[in-house]
Structure 1
Amino acid sequence: MPLKASPADQALLLDLQQLDTSLQQLAHRARRLPENAALEAIEKQTAELRARLTAEEGTAEDAQRELSRIESDVAMVEAREKRDRDRLQATSSQKDIQALEQELASLANRRSDLEDAELEVMERVEQHTAVVAATRAELDEMQATRENTLAVRDDALGGIDSERKQATANRETIAAKVPAELLALYERQRERYGVGASHLRARVSSASGVELTGSDLAAVRAAAPDDVLLCPDSQAVLVRTDESGL
């Protein structure tokens, strides 16, 4: 036996469909907030900055290790020079004096070369340290931008969530008024086809946007007001009202 429901009960499905459409639109808005795309871009840029920082820190650490090695070599040369000077003051052997003076001259040249290298490496350490500091500053700025964007996104989501809760509450109120079998049909058609109810207005189905053909329109006209019909194109429950143009 075909499902029957009063025109008033069938008309409730239009309100239900309107709320379901609103809920879908709210979910779409939540997914498509511009802040979501901005956050994705920020995450990508942050990952790139972190990778760059890791490489820059590695370069700076290599330069610092090189500087430490040179400083150690300088300290060793200076210690050797002190030892030779002490020995030079303590010896009276002409042969030892000549050998120590030659070694001190060689050590002076070695220390001069090391100090030149030390200055060059110190400059590189300073440059690499500045680069690392600049990248860290970029990361800090990016983090601040991320936090601000999150705040804006969460505020927008809060507004959408309030609308969703209100629409859900209204939907529950209306659904409670719809006869169980009619509601089950609506839910089934909505799940299968995306739309549960379609308003027939001026002989056009709102769900499909298509005007009913002559034969379909004749079948609708022949149906009793409490007959539950389906739209031939969208398969949604076809709700007839005074605007249907029958």
Structure 2
Amino acid sequence: MKADPQAQRRMLDLQAVDTSLAQLAHKRKNLPEYAELDRLARELSALEDERVRVQVGVDDLDRDISRLENDIDQVRARAAKDQARLDAGTGPARELEALQHELGTLARRQGELEDAELELMEQRESAQNSLDEVEQRLAALREKRDEVERTRDQTLAEIGREEEFRRSGRTPLVSDLPADLVALYERIREQTGMGAALLRSGRCGACRLELSGSERTRLKAAPADEVVRCEECGRIMVRTEESGL
């Protein structure tokens, strides 16, 4: 293939743009924020499970406390009824004595229930403190996640603007180059990731290998407008005064 030497040199500009675009694509795909968001998602999931577990404990204690309060209310109501009957002083002495005995039993029962309720309330306070602590950690993690997402989105926007700028500069480069040269370049780039490189000091700028003696001789004899390729990696080698031929 033949191409004007100046057109071949402009291939290096095109390759520089494509290298920048490839780097930007790699950066987009491998943002550190992705790994950080994955880590935060796992932590949030585990902490949410813990929150649910602690919340269930608080709810269970609330139900137990409510049940005890109902029992205490029933004992108080029964004791008030018995006390009213006793204060009225009507009825046989044996019945009044039984009421006094029952009032003593009810007082002990009320004390037991209130002691149990107090213990549960202390447990409930401890459980609520644990729940509050978990919810604070959840809020902090969610805030951290939101912050990382904002950083990710800002970085992606910056990458997008840079990509747009690079692509806008690529279009006129491609338009000014011979179509067959661009087609060859694109085919090689699709296969290897790089279409063209500078031949500098007898080394291919793509694979970094030094040319053999016979290859140097061949390239030195090749016309300036001949498109040459590296015998090792197959990329287009652009010859300039730096090529060392």
Aligned: 1:161 with 2:163: no
Answer whether contact 1:205 1:212 (CA < 8 A) is retained.
Answer: yes
What does 1:167-182 align with in structure 2 at a 5 Å threshold?
A: 167-182=166-181
Question: For 1:176, what is the secondary structure of its paired residue?
Answer: helix
Match of 1:76 in 2: 74
* Alpha-carbon offset, residue 159 of structure 1: 2.4
Aligned partners of 1:81 and 1:107 also within 8 Å: yes
Specify the code of the residue in structure 2 equivalent to 1:43: A
Alignment root-mean-square deviation, CA: 1.6
Q: Counterpart of 1:200 in 2: which secondary structure?
A: strand
Cα distance in 1 for residues equivalent to 2:200 and 2:130: 68
Return the alpha-carbon distance in structure 1 between the equivalents of residues 102 and 217 of structure 2: 118
Aligned pair partner of 2:39 in 38, 41, 51: 41
1:62 counterpart residue number:
60
Instruction: Please report how far the alpha carbon of residue 132 of structure 1 lies from its aligned counterpart in structure 2 after TM superposition.
Output: 0.9
- 2:183 maps to 1:188: no
Percent identical across equivalent pairs? 38
1:12 aligned to 10, 13, 16, which one?
10
| Structure 1 unmatched ranges of 5 or more | none
Task: Determine the structure 1 residue equivalent to 2:105.
Answer: 106
**Aligned pairs, number:** 244
Letter matched to residue 243 of structure 1: E
Instruction: Measure, in 2, the Cα distance between the counterparts of 1:79 and 1:177.
Output: 99
Indicate the SS of the match to 2:242.
Answer: coil
After TM superposition, the structure 1 stretch with the greater mean CA deviation from structure 2, 147-156 or 60-69, is 147-156
Mapped partners of 1:190, 1:234: distance in 2: 11
- TM score, norm. by length of structure 2: 0.93
Q: Is the 8 A contact 1:198 1:231 kept in 2?
A: no
Offset, 1:73: 0.9
1:160-179 per-residue CA deviation (whole Å, 9 max, x = no partner) reads: 22221111111112111121
Q: Distance in 1 between matches of 2:131 and 2:172?
A: 60
- 1:84 Cα deviation after fit: 1.8
Stretches of structure 2 that go unaligned for 5 or more consecutive residues are none
What displacement does 1:149 show?
2.4
